[in-house]
C-alpha cells in the first residue's frame, strides 16, 4: 500500500480500509468518483487465521481476503494509503479538511468512517495471546471448528449466558465459568435456561489458561483447579473507534454493547456529509454485513453527490451562469440514467 498521497482533494475520503471501507470505495470507484482510502492496517479479525461465513470465501485467511479486495479497488482508480486520520474538520462549506498522522492534509467533499472497533479483553494471563485461535467470541465465525469439543465460556452477565446457549448447539459439553461472580447474582431465568441447554456452571475466579503444544487445553481457577477445555469463549467489551465521528458531533444510540454512532439504513450519520459503516456502527457487523453496509453507503453517497451537483448547476443556470464543470455534472447524470 502507498504511503504518499497523490492529490490534495478527493470527492470522498474513506477512513479505514477494512471490509466496510473498501467495499464503499469499490462502489465509489466503479462510479468514477475520486476516492482516497486511509487505512491504519489493524483490521479486527487480524488475529484469526481463517475467516468464516462469507459466501465463496469461507475459510480464507483474513489478510488474503483484504489484499484481494484492495487489488480490486485500486483497479478502479481508488487510491489507498497506509496512514491514520487524526482529525477531520468542517471547512465551513459543508465539506471537510482531513489530517493524517504522517503529516498529510487533504480536502474531502464527503467522508466515510469505517474505523471498526476495539475488543477489550479481560486481564487474564494467556487470553490475549490466544485471541482468535482458541480464545474466541463468535459462534458463527469459529464455533463450528470446535463442534463436539469441551467448550468453556466466561460469564459476562447476559452476554455470557447468550454465548453459552449458542455454543450448546455446537457441543454437548459446555461449561460456564462464573469468574468470581456470586451464583446468587444470576437471575432464576438464567439458571433455568442454562439447565435446559445442558450447560454446566463452575464458580470461582479464572486466573489463567493451560496451553500444551500451542493449543488451549484447560481453564485454570484460583486455588489450582484446572478444567480441561479445548476452547474458551470470551465476550469482549467492544468499543467503537468513533472519536472522529463524535468529535464532529455525530449522534450515538444505546445498544446492549454500549453506545454506537447512529446511522440510517444507508450509513448516513446525523452529521451532513458523513457516513459510517461496519463495526464502527455496531457490534454485529460481521464481514459480510460490513461489506453490505459499505455497498449501501457507496451507492447512497454517490447518488447524493450527483444530486447536489445537479442542484448547484440548476441554481447557476437559473442565475444565468454556465460552467464547464457544471456541464460535466449534467452529462454524467445523463449517462447514469
Ligand X SMILES: Cc1cc2nc3c(=O)[nH]c(=O)nc-3n(C[C@H](O)[C@H](O)[C@H](O)COP(=O)(O)OP(=O)(O)OC[C@H]3O[C@@H](n4cnc5c(N)ncnc54)[C@H](O)[C@@H]3O)c2cc1C
Grid coordinates belonging to 37: 482510502
CA dihedral 218, 222, 224, 226 (to 10 degrees): -20
Q: How far apart are CA 281 and CA 116, in angstroms?
A: 8
Residue 193 vs 239, nearer CB to ligand X: 239
Does 45 bind ligand X (CB under 6 A)? Our answer is: yes
Q: Is 285 in the site for ligand X (CB under 6 A)?
A: yes
Helices (H), the chain: 19-30, 62-74, 127-130, 157-168, 188-197, 243-247, 287-318, 324-336
Strand order in the sheet with 231-233: 135-136, 231-233, 151-154, 174-177, 200-202
Q: How far is the CB of 100 from ligand X (least distance, A)?
A: 8
Dihedral of the CA atoms 27, 30, 36, 42 (nearest 10)? 50
Nearest residue (CB) to ligand X, 88 versus 206? 88
Does residue 240 interact with ligand X by CB under 6 A?
no
Minimum CB distance to ligand X smaller for 137 or for 190: 137
Query: CA 146, 151, 157: angle at the middle one, nearest 5?
Result: 125
* Closer by beta carbon to ligand X, 119 or else 179: 119
Residue with Cβ nearer ligand X (151 or 287): 287
> Alpha-carbon distance 265 to 85, whole Å?
25
Q: How far apart are CA 245 and CA 247, in angstroms?
A: 5
Least separation in angstroms between residue 213's CB and ligand X is 21
Nearest approach in angstroms of CB 306 to ligand X is 25
Does 290 bind ligand X (CB under 6 A)? Our answer is yes
Binding residue for ligand X (CB under 6 A) from 5, 27, 35, 48?
48
Q: Which stretch binds ligand X (CB under 6 A): 91-99, 131-139, 167-175, 176-184?
A: 131-139
Residues 184-223 that bind ligand X (CB under 6 A): none
Number of residues that bind ligand X (CB under 6 A): 39
> In this complex, which beta carbon is closest to ligand X, that of residue 175 or of residue 286?
286
By C-beta, is 163 or 329 nearer to ligand X? 163
Q: CA 135, 133, 204 angle in degrees (round to 5)?
A: 15
Instruction: Let me know: does 201 contact 165? Beta carbons within 8 Å.
Output: no
Are 68 and 25 within 8 A, CB to CB?
no
Where does this chain touch ligand X (CB under 6 A) — which range of 50-58, 196-204, 211-219, 307-315?
50-58
Site map for ligand X, 4-43, x if CB under 6 A? -----------xxxxxxx----------------xxxxxx
Q: Which residues bind ligand X (CB under 6 A)?
A: 15-21, 38-45, 47-48, 51-54, 84-85, 114-116, 119, 131-132, 138, 141, 241, 278-279, 285-288, 290
Amino acid at each position: 500500500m502507498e504511503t504518499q498521497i497523490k492529490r490534495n482533494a478527493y470527492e470522498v475520503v474513506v477512513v479505514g480500509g477494512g471490509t466496510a471501507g473498501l467495499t464503499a470505495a469499490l462502489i465509489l470507484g466503479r462510479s468514477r468518483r475520486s476516492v482516497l482510502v486511509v487505512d491504519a492496517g489493524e483490521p479486527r479479525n487480524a488475529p484469526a487465521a481463517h475467516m468464516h461465513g462469507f459466501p465463496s470465501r469461507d475459510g480464507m485467511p483474513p489478510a488474503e481476503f483484504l489484499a484481494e479486495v484492495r487489488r480490486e479497488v485500486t483497479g478502479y482508480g481508488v487510491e489507498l494509503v497506509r496512514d491514520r486520520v487524526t482529525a477531520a474538520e468542517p471547512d465551513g462549506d459543508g465539506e471537510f479538511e482531513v489530517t493524517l498522522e504522517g503529516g498529510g492534509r487533504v480536502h474531502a467533499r464527503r467522508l466515510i468512517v469505517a474505523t471498526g472497533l476495539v475488543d477489550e479483553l479481560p486481564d487474564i494471563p494467556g487470553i490475549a495471546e490466544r485471541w482468535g485461535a482458541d480464545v474466541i467470541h463468535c459462534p458463527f465465525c469459529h464455533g463450528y471448528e470446535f463442534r463436539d469439543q469441551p467448550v468453556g465460556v466466561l460469564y459476562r452477565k447476559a452476554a455470557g449466558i447468550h454465548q453459552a446457549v449458542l455454543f450448546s448447539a455446537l457441543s454437548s459439553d459446555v461449561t460456564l465459568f462464573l469468574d468470581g461472580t456470586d451464583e446468587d447474582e444470576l437471575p432464576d431465568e438464567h439458571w433455568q435456561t442454562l439447565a435446559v441447554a445442558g450447560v454446566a456452571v463452575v464458580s470461582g475466579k479464572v486466573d489463567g489458561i493451560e496451553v500444551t503444544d500451542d493449543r488451549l487445553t484447560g481453564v485454570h481457577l484460583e486455588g489450582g483447579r484446572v478444567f480441561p477445555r479445548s476452547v474458551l469463549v470470551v465476550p469482549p467489551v467492544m468499543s467503537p473507534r468513533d472519536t472522529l465521528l463524535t468529535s464532529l458531533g455525530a449522534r450515538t444510540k444505546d445498544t446492549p454493547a454500549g453506545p454506537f454512532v447512529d446511522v440510517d439504513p444507508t450509513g448516513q450519520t446525523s452529521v451532513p456529509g458523513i457516513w459510517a459503516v461496519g463495526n464502527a456502527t455496531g457490534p454485529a457487523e460481521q464481514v459480510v454485513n460490513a461489506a453490505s453496509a459499505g455497498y449501501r453507503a457507496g451507492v447512497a453517497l454517490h447518488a447524493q453527490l450527483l444530486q447536489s451537483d445537479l442542484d448547484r448547476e440548476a441554481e447557476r443556470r437559473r442565475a444565468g451562469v454556465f460552467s464547464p464543470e457544471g456541464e460535466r455534472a449534467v452529462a454524467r447524470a445523463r449517462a447514469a440514467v
